[in-house]
Amino acid sequence: MPVSIIMPFFKKRDFIELSLNSVLSQTYQNFEIIIIYDDENQDDYEFIKNFEKKDRRIKIIKNVKNLGAGLSRNIGIANSKFELIAFLDCDDLWEKNKLNDQINFMNENNYEFSFTSYDIINNENKIIGKRIAKRYLSFNDLIKSCDIGLSTVMMKKKLIDDNCKFVSLITKEDYVLWLNLAKKNIKFYGLDRSLTQWRKSENSLSSSTYQKLLDGFKVYNKYMRYNKILSFLYLFRLSFNYLLKK
């Protein structure tokens, strides 16, 4: 079963080649890679375009303006050829058996959505933490704690539509999608194998505590349509559960 791999690019020049090589060295080779160039600064564009020459399966899409990772992923999905979608941020890495093991996991169980355990690495590629994938997550689990690593996800493309896709947030844009899918009774199954390495960069957009709190509130108030009091309560629980994982 072929896979479309969606990779939004924004100021990740130092890491993207490592990320791409972790895909190109997969034991499972039936895939396409769609890189969405999302930087209004064109300095890195020619550098990224060179990867198209490296492998015919790599396709570059350039946004006219900066849209953010979530909306860029939507563009990548819309331009994908295959019915199975995987996501990889341009500074994260995959183990060489990631695609093979996860596809087998989904095929053997007839799953539409899966995620895996992952290691946390720093900018020197040293492992500094780990997240274990729970066997199953429901909406009630997710609303309390986002325990799905974006770069570990593999899902059927048919789950995405105009009413259920990535939203325009700086952080937690994937969290809204998981919650909306869960509300539609989509099942989330975890594979407890560390098949991805998620990079924790102190200068990344997702490292800002204020931005995380702001976007976390929007998840509940704007997208889940909870009132302000309930949204603050859920945000407190989300933040508390995040601290427990550290």
DSSP codes joined into one string, 110-146: T-SEEEEEEEEE-TT--EEEEEPPPSEE-HHHHTT--
Which tokens belong to 20? 């791409």
pTM of the model: 0.94
**Which phi and psi angles does 48 have, rounded to 5°?**
-70, -40
- Share above pLDDT 90 across residues of the chain, in percent, rounded to a whole number: 91
Q: What angle do CA 65, 209, 9 make, to 5 degrees?
A: 30
Domain boundaries defined on the chain? 3-202
Q: Does domain 3-202 sit in CATH 3.20.20.150? A: no
Is residue 207's pLDDT more than 80? no
Tens of pLDDT along 88-106? 999 999 999 999 999 999 9
Tens of pLDDT along 115-145? 999 999 999 999 999 999 999 999 999 999 9
**From the DSSP assignment, how many helices (H) and strands (E) are in the chain?**
8, 10
Check residue 203 and give its pLDDT. 62
**29-49 b/e (C-beta count within 10 Å ≥ 16 → b):** eebbbbbbbbbeeeebeeebe
